[in-house]
Amino acid sequence: MDYQGLNQLFDNLNKSIPEVNLISILTVDGLPILSSQQEDDNTDSLSALTALMCNCADRIAGCFEPAGLNGAVVSFNDQNYTVIKLSKDYALGIKTPTSIEHAWLMQRVRQLVQTTPAAFN
């Protein structure tokens, strides 16, 4: 996996979706997990592994955080998943995306992924 390409995708997401304020992207391809920034706990790792084990790609990942929706899982193939974690405001349920907002976010993510193929080679 091209980590430079993945970082480019992360930058593009932050620039293109300012309303959501993405704070981290994790990838799961087997065991390795890449995060855009260090986390103090293992919540993100557990979320990513849960997504992989439950095969819940393209579903709202609200189960990751009981307080509110804090992530969306996007599937690129059978082995690779990206967990996109939303800002702390979303995670705490201060602003929980509606289903329409979530659909819009997922559409934007897919568009950006398609225009940043180097991240997933």
More confident residue, 14 or 43: 14
Measured between alpha carbons, how far is 121 from 119 in angstroms, rounded to an integer? 6
Report yes or no on 48 lying in a domain: yes
Half-sphere exposure of 11 (CA within 13 A, CB side): 8
Q: CA 118, 106, 102: angle at the middle one, nearest 5?
A: 155
- pLDDT value, residue 49: 47
Report yes or no on 73 lying in a domain: yes
Predicted TM-score (pTM) of the model is 0.34
Report yes or no on 78 lying in a domain: yes
Report yes or no on 9 lying in a domain: yes
Report yes or no on 98 lying in a domain: yes
Q: Would you place residue 25 in the very low, low, confident or very high pLDDT band (cuts 50, 70, 90)?
A: very low
Q: Which residues of 62-98 are buried (b: 16+ CB within 10 A; e: fewer)?
A: bebbeebbbbbbbbeeeebbbbbbbbeebbeeebbbe
Element (H, E) at 33: strand 33-34
Work out whether strand 81-85 and strand 71-75 pair parallel, antiparallel, or are unpaired. Answer: antiparallel
Report yes or no on 120 lying in a domain: no
Percent of the chain with pLDDT over 70: 0
Number of independent structural domains in the chain: 1
How is residue 90 written in tokens? 């979303």
For 68-104, the pLDDT digits (tens) are: 444 444 444 444 445 555 545 544 444 555 566 556 6
Structural domain boundaries enclosing 97: 3-112
Report yes or no on 12 lying in a domain: yes
Question: Is pLDDT at 15 greater than 50 in this prediction?
Answer: yes
Report yes or no on 41 lying in a domain: yes
Question: Is pLDDT at 120 greater than 50 in this prediction?
Answer: no
Tokens 């897919």: give the residue. 110
